[in-house]
């Protein structure tokens, strides 16, 4: 595996690793790591860094939903055109074109179920090309961005063993 890819893999494991931490793990110089990360960012491979949050653990009410979206294209309008209009909404946290029974998969986050349904019915559904929406509220999250949300497997190993 090439060096840049190895840096990317370690970065995906924990984006808060410092260049020094990554360098130590891969036998590189911190400057080399920093250069790889910069190149990944410049090339648009790494698009940003964020926290992985278990919203249910927060006292504030946060509601997440997955929304399936069907659209009808015409000669003037392609997926790209529709996607540009939908991606700009702050409520949309993830947005992908998918294969299968529907066209787009959206992830929506808002303060209440009302806010989510208002957003879908007032902002998304009225878009002329949109023919159908199906909203699934997230009931519980077990894993996100590779991180399991269960209360950590306890390390029950002895502190000393031969």
Residues that bind another protein (CB under 8 A): 10, 13-14, 17, 21, 23-27, 153, 155, 157-162
Nearest to 71 by CA among 134, 133, 131, 135: 131
CB of 157 to another protein, least distance (A): 5
Which of 15, 97 has the CB closer to another protein? 15
Tokens of 73: 């294209």
Which of 22, 69 has the CB closer to another protein? 22
Q: What is the bridge-based pairing of β-strands 147-148 and 143-144? A: antiparallel
Which of 18, 121 has the CB closer to another protein? 18
Q: Calculate the CA dihedral of residues 135, 137, 143, 145 and round it to 10 degrees.
A: 50
CB of 56 to another protein, least distance (A): 23
């Amino acid at each position: 595996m090439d060096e840049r890819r190895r840096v990317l893999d370690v970065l995906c494991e924990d984006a808060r690793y410092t260049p020094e931490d990554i360098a130590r793990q891969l036998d590189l110089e911190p400057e080399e790591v920093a250069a790889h990360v910069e190149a990944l960012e410049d090339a648009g491979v790494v698009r940003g860094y964020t926290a992985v949050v278990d919203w249910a653990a927060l006292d504030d009410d946060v509601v997440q939903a997955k929304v399936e979206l069907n659209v009808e294209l015409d000669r003037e309008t392609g997926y790209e055109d529709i996607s540009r209009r939908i991606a700009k909404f702050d409520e949309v946290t993830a947005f992908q074109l998918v294969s299968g029974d529907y066209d787009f998969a959206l992830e929506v986050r808002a303060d209440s179920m009302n806010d989510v349904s208002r957003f879908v019915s007032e902002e998304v559904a009225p878009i002329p090309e949109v023919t159908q929406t199906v909203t699934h509220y997230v009931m519980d999250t077990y894993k996100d961005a590779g991180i399991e949300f269960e209360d950590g497997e306890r390390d029950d190993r002895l502190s000393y063993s031969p």
